[in-house]
Amino acid sequence: MKLTVNNLNFAYQDGEQEKIIFENVNVQFAGGQVHVILGASGSGKSTLLALLGTVDKPQSGSIKLDGQDIFARDTEYRKHHIGFVFQNYNLIEDLSGMENIEMALAIADNMKVKDTILGVLNLVGIDEATAKKRVNKLSGGEQQRIAIARAFINNPDIILADEPTGNLDPDTSLIIMNIFLRLAHEYDKCIILVTHNQDLAKMGDCIYTVKNHSILKGE
């Protein structure tokens, strides 16, 4: 699986002014790898994920998944090909972890059964009793594991993770990073992960830096 960005240009319209974020960006992300995105605050890391997730649309250039334009079939792409993980977990707090994951399944019209959910929870290290608790009773690390399970439940090709360990302590961050590495290496997923943590960045398969409206390979 390949996600290919070609000659991408993107700017926010800020009132009268145009705020340029990306200029002629070319980059490729492959399945089976954790791609780490570094860059100063405000450089455009979250914007990159929004573009790759079809939440924002480039003014020109293309993003293709295995040769197919992602914006041409964005609803299908969002339902079946990508999962999102955020710094603040973005779970529905009044529901249990299990219910959060079931909702993601319902949204994608998927007929997966409870066994599949338990399998994915097992993969992220959450047992059934923990999954049945209300999310607001869980630790940050547990919530993020559930958020990863939710992102993974529809078996997407790509998981976009925006500072997923930003609110977590070093030990928990390491556990979360290892889950992403496993999803890439054992399940062939394409993980695109934004972080400010240099130690975690080094664990990734490749590093990119967002800088000067570009995406450069390396730190």
Q: Which letter, b or e, does each residue of 175-199 get, where b requires 16 or more Cβ atoms within 10 Å of its Cβ?
A: ebbebbbebbeeeebbbbbbbebee
Distance between CA atoms of residues 164 and 196, nearest Å:
10
Contact pattern from residue 47 through residue 66 relative to ligand ADP, giving x for each residue in contact according to CB under 6 A and a dash for the rest: x-------------------
Contact pattern from residue 10 through residue 49 relative to ligand ADP, giving x for each residue in contact according to CB under 6 A and a dash for the rest: --x-x----x-x-----------------x-xxxxxxx--
Q: Which stretch binds Mg ion (CB under 5 A): 27-35, 39-47, 50-58, 121-129?
A: 39-47
The runs of H, that is alpha helices, within the chain are: 45-52, 74-80, 97-107, 114-123, 128-131, 140-152, 170-187, 198-203
Contact pattern from residue 45 through residue 84 relative to Mg ion, giving x for each residue in contact according to CB under 5 A and a dash for the rest: xx--------------------------------------
Q: Which does residue 71 bind out of Mg ion, ligand ADP, none, counting CB within 5 to 8 angstroms by kind?
A: none
Q: Which does residue 47 bind out of ligand ADP, Mg ion, none, counting CB within 5 to 8 angstroms by kind?
A: ligand ADP
Angle at the Cα of 37 from the Cα atoms of 33 and 42, rounded to 5 degrees: 160
The DSSP output letter for 144 is: H
Instruction: Give contact residues for Mg ion (rule: CB under 5 A).
Output: 45-46
Instruction: Give contact residues for ligand ADP (rule: CB under 6 A).
Output: 12, 14, 19, 21, 39, 41-47
